[in-house]
């Protein structure tokens, strides 16, 4: 019914994925060359998908296009809230008030603004590491210090170091916690007991918390997302960010839902935020929430299979790689420490030696040396080629090293 095997040409669409890797991964310009042509790379880096957005979303955009006027626009209609709220009720059995909803043209811009609105200059931002680097940047751009709590990593599995987290949360200058639920890059889906323990520490220390739940729809089929807001139903200093952008491959549409409970903060947001939305983005998001459920379920089946295949392939061809199937996200987080020195620049190695673009542990703030992150949201044929190239490059390196000695 849906064709996730289709290979779609993304050239000449101004895609970050095809055209932005030099600047994003390598901080380089067009003069950087590789033994591969750009179109020969297998691209497994930035977190968008190689799949077409579903037809129901494209139809929603088309219907809006047919209305022909694209003047100043803002989510006014209750039907948008109803679609989003019904989605959250159905998927996470979670409800919230319409008054809490404001819109942002992305989760990242919202993080940047919220850290500014919430914290004073001498206050610190706390997050769990490894971390999506923009959590750190949210502190950096606002000239705030940041504090990391490393996740525990045991037998290839991640968990929160509650003792460490509590110690850091207790610093009175640490006033805001940016939480990734589910977690990028480890793919952890935080379980109810974990969320409750976290909630207890947050409350005890009166921390502000932004729960970034951008990956909340793309869980393995045996997993269930629990919004932090569901575990902390009355806590006012909680902001939740959700968006159809990861779920439906709409990142370029730049629309996200921000739920702000605290009235004072919401007032600040409404006064300082640029409160306009893109008409086509609203149409896309609303159509996704209203009509995209079945597509997401089919996508999840496809991703589950890509993860199963990856696990099997790595076990056979890179037996010393540590990898557990991510509970959420379409991102595989693979520990290659048995094969590389911790300071090896892994994105550079795989770009040059394998023709694969991927993100390395060096891009996730700290506590992530020797890891690679692979985007599995691609046709299985592309994934198979990417994994083959990755494994061959690592195994060749080892043979060369062995022969060299
Ligand atoms: N928050 C998290 C946890 C993310 O993983 C991403 C995208 C965003 C926010 C971006 O939100 P936006 O501003 O687009 O609404 N993650 C990416 C990643 O890991 N690589 O490329 C993008």
Q: Could you report the per-residue pLDDT of 344-354, keeping only the tens digit for each?
A: 999 999 999 99
Using the structure block, give the residue that is written with the tokens 């589950």: 304
Average pLDDT over residues 214-222: 98
Ligand 1 near 281 CB (within 6 A): no
Cα 16 from Cα 96, distance rounded (Å):
34
Ligand 1 near 180 CB (within 6 A): yes
What is the whole-number distance in angstroms between the Cα of residue 405 and the centre of ligand 1?
Answer: 43
Tell me: cis bond preceding 37? Omega within 30 of 0 counts. no
Cα 328 from Cα 219, distance rounded (Å):
4
Ligand 1 near 256 CB (within 6 A): yes
Tens of pLDDT along 150-193?
999 998 899 999 999 999 999 999 999 999 999 999 999 999 99
CA distances to 122, 143, 325, 389, 392 from 314, in Å: 46, 42, 11, 12, 11
What is the whole-number distance in angstroms between the Cα of residue 47 and the centre of ligand 1?
Answer: 7
DSSP-derived 3-state class of residue 240: strand
Apex CA 313: angle with CA 308 and CA 317, to 5°? 155
Local confidence band at 398 (pLDDT 50, 70, 90 cut-offs): confident
Local confidence band at 402 (pLDDT 50, 70, 90 cut-offs): low
pLDDT (0 to 100) of residue 99: 98
Residue 180 CA: nearest ligand 1 atom is 3
Quote the DSSP letter at residue 227: -
pLDDT (0 to 100) of residue 1: 86
Residues in contact with 65: Cβ distance below 8 Å, sequence separation at least 6, in sequence order: 280
Tokens, residue 254: 């730049």
Residue bearing the CA closest to ligand 1, atom 6: 214
Cβ count within 10 A of residue 388? 15
Using the structure block, give the residue that is written with the tokens 């590789």: 34
Cβ count within 10 A of residue 72? 7
Average pLDDT over residues 3-29: 98
Average pLDDT over residues 2-14: 97
Ligand 1 near 212 CB (within 6 A): yes
Contact by Cβ (8 Å): 244, 288: yes
pLDDT (0 to 100) of residue 188: 98
What is the whole-number distance in angstroms between the Cα of residue 362 and the centre of ligand 1?
Answer: 17
Local confidence band at 234 (pLDDT 50, 70, 90 cut-offs): very high
- Please, what is the average pLDDT of the chain? 97
Residue 232 pLDDT greater than 80, yes or no? yes
Average pLDDT over residues 280-292: 98
Residue 372 pLDDT greater than 60, yes or no? yes
Cα 292 from Cα 306, distance rounded (Å):
21
Strands, DSSP E only, in 50-182? 101-104, 124-129, 145-150, 152-154, 157-159, 174-180
Average pLDDT over residues 346-365: 98
Ligand 1 near 107 CB (within 6 A): yes
Cα 94 from Cα 216, distance rounded (Å):
13
Tokens, residue 223: 């997993």
Which among 107, 178, 330 is the best mutation to test ligand 1's pocket, defined by most ligand atoms within 8 Å of the CB?
Answer: 107
Share of residues in the chain with pLDDT > 70 (%):
99
Contact by Cβ (8 Å): 169, 201: yes
Cα 131 from Cα 373, distance rounded (Å):
12
Ligand 1 near 245 CB (within 6 A): yes
Tens of pLDDT along 45-72?
999 999 999 999 999 999 999 999 999 9
Instruction: State whether the Cα torsion 135-140-142-148 is positive or negative.
Output: positive
Residue 405 pLDDT greater than 70, yes or no? no
pLDDT (0 to 100) of residue 18: 98
pLDDT (0 to 100) of residue 116: 98
pTM of the model: 0.97
Ligand 1 near 186 CB (within 6 A): no
Residue 404 pLDDT greater than 70, yes or no? no
Average pLDDT over residues 225-234: 98
């Amino acid at each position: 019914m849906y064709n996730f095997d289709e290979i779609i040409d993304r050239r000449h669409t101004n895609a970050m994925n095809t055209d932005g890797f030099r600047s994003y991964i390598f901080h380089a310009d067009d003069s950087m060359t590789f033994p591969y042509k750009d179109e020969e790379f297998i691209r497994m880096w930035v977190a968008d998908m190689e799949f077409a957005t579903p037809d129901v979303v494209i139809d929603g955009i088309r219907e809006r296009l047919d209305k022909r006027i694209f003047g100043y626009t803002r989510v006014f209609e209750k039907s948008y809230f109803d679609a989003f709220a019904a989605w959250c009720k159905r998927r996470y059995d979670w409800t919230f008030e319409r008054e809490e909803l404001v819109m942002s043209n992305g989760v990242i811009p919202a993080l940047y603004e919220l850290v500014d609105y919430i914290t004073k200059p001498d206050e610190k931002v706390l997050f769990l590491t490894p971390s999506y680097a923009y959590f750190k940047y949210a502190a950096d751009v606002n000239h705030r210090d940041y504090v990391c709590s490393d996740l525990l990593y045991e037998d290839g599995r991640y968990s929160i170091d509650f003792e460490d987290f509590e110690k850091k949360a207790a610093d009175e200058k640490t006033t805001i916690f940016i939480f990734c639920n589910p977690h990028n890059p480890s793919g952890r889906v935080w379980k109810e007991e974990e969320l409750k323990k976290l909630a207890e520490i947050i409350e005890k220390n009166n921390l502000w918390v932004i729960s970034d739940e951008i990956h909340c729809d793309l869980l393995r089929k045996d997993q269930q997302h629990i919004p932090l807001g569901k575990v902390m139903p009355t806590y006012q200093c909680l902001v939740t960010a959700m968006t159809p952008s990861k779920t439906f491959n709409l990142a370029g549409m730049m629309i996200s839902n921000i739920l702000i409970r605290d009235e004072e903060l919401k007032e600040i947001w409404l006064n300082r935020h640029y409160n306009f939305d893109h008409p086509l983005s609203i149409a896309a998001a609303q159509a996704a929430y209203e009509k995209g459920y079945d597509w997401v379920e089919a996508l999840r089946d496809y991703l589950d299979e890509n993860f199963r295949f990856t696990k099997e392939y790595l076990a056979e061809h890179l037996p010393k790689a540590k990898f557990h199937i991510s509970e959420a996200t379409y991102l595989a987080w693979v520990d290659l420490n048995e094969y590389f020195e911790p300071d090896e620049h892994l994105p550079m190695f795989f770009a040059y030696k394998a023709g694969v673009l991927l993100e390395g542990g060096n891009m996730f703030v700290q506590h992530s040396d020797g890891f690679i992150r692979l985007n599995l949201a691609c046709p299985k044929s592309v994934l198979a080629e990417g994994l083959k190239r990755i494994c061959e490059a690592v195994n060749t390196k080892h043979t060369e090293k062995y022969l060299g000695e």
